[in-house]
Amino acid sequence: MVGTALRSPAAAPAIVLATLMTMPLADSLYRIPIQVSDSLEPIVIAAKYDSAQHLLHDSLTFSPSTFRPLRYLQARALLAFTQATGLTYHAVFRGVHVVLLLMLVALFVAALRVRNVSDLVAFTVAFPVLIGIHTFLSMLLEAFPVNHFAEVGVCALGVFVLAQHTPRWFVPVVACALLVLSLSVIESGAMVWITVICCAAAGLPGVNRTTVVATTVVFAGYLLLRHLLGISSPGIGGHGSGFGDRFYSPEELAQRFGAHPLGFMLYNVIGGLASLLFAEPRQGVYALLAAWRAGEMHPVVLINVIASSATTALLIWYAAARLPRSRSAWSDADRTFVAASAALVANAAFNAVYIKDEIMSPAGLFYAIATFVAVRALIDSLPTRTVAATSFATCFLVAVAALWTFRAIGDQYQLRYHAFITRNDWVDVLRPDKHDDWPKDPTELAITKRLRAEAIGRRTTSPSFMPRWAERYWVE
């Protein structure tokens, strides 16, 4: 049970470690102003409607390729909360981003269930993997008013934690509610349904047939509703993506792959999975290939590839050593590993049209869970190994943990850098020399002025005062 795990002697140090690594991250995340891109427009739209019912009705058909009504309803709710409390827009909207980060970390700790020293040692490796993997940072940098990719991560991890424990009557209800929430904010919310299916297939006890059937009905209803509303999935050319060693614009992708998309779609699915397992490609672009052609290799590429490849090799070792046994002989750890691994592989299919790190963010969470299981198994096997093998395994784990910790520290640099860039983006909004371009609607103008004033008024650190070597080691 969760309560038993949290009361174990090893749980307290794990929680302390997670807190010490998360709090600075939360502080840096909070310092980022509300972004112009992807945030200003939905906030303004939400503010213009006289009622939530009217907004919900119209938001169902805002886009011919997306179904995201809750994005606008959440923005409207936060605007109302801001007016009721007198808080700043920044405090409310960015505060929600921070809360989602804390929920992700709390659910991750609950999913690992640290009980003994072996668990604690494995946790010191897995937690840096969680926050050091590039999909986690990309998720934190998401520019929506409410971080929808983080919401999907919270919902998917919530289902995963429920699946690990004794089945309860409310699990199908909670799972369906989390699925509805995630599907209402972004299409990758389907990962919540994928998580249910993977947990059931792996034999985790908390997900029974009722939960599978109920969530499948909800997901089928979602697909039917999209069809009835005339909402189609975006095709190639709806978003830019990489291929080989370069990034293509939407127009270039449509011209090159629009007539024969299957090869490109296969490239994207394989590339999405490879980006998680080996840190290459990023957004569809193979930095190693580009560096080879340019004759220059940034250290960050090698660090990321080595850390991810070594960790993936450990996952492969665990799968080869433990999973060939009969399914009935699997331990709870084996089932957790299988469920997490299946979910991260399935997540790669969401990249069929274009590769985006944020799309793979749920897979990054499950990758860290699978890492915990594999590291713990390696630690438990050390007493049966020779001195040489034990020494090698110990050095391997120390090196992997050090590389991932270094990557995790880089999140701080990139968040602070992003805060500076985001603040400067507001300088071009409501420019005095372009008064004719200002919004004519008084509500839109008032909100834009206030958001701009709050963003520009925030203190951010210029990259000139950051370590000059940091970009080569932390930014791809």
pLDDT, tens digit (0-9, with 9 covering 90-100), for 138-147: 999 988 999 9
Number of domains into which the chain is organized: 1
- Three-state SS string over the chain comes to CHHHHHHCCCHHHHHHHHHHHHHHHHHHHHCCCCCHHHHHHHHHHHHHCCCHHHHHHHHCCCCCCCCCHHHHHHHHHHHHHHHHHCCCHHHHHHHHHHHHHHHHHHHHHHHHCCCCHHHHHHHHHHHHHHHHCHHHHHHHCCCCCCCHHHHHHHHHHHHHHHHCCCCCCCHHHHHHHHHHHHHCCCHHHHHHHHHHHHHHHHCCCCCCHHHHHHHHHHHHHHHHHHHHCCCCCCCCCCCCEEECCEEECHHHHHHHHCCCCHHHHHHHHHHHHHHHHHCCCECCECHHHHHHHHCCCCHHHHHHHHHHHHHHHHHHHHHHHHCCCCHHHCCHHHHHHHHHHHHHHHHHHHHCCCCCHHHHHHHHHHHHHHHHHHHHHHHHHHHHCCHHHHHHHHHHHHHHHHHHHHHHHHHHHHHHHHHHHHHHHHHHCCCHHHHHHCCCCHHHHHHHHHHHHHHHCCCCCCHHHCCCCHHHHHCC
- At 288-322, the pLDDT tens digits run 887 887 777 789 999 999 999 999 999 999 999 98
pTM of the model: 0.93
Tell whether 323 is covered by a domain: no
Tell whether 55 is covered by a domain: yes
- At 340-396, the pLDDT tens digits run 999 999 999 999 888 889 999 999 999 999 999 999 999 999 988 889 999 999 999
Tell whether 283 is covered by a domain: no
**Is the per-residue pLDDT at 6 higher than 80?**
no
Domain of residue 87: give its range.
Answer: 2-231+409-474
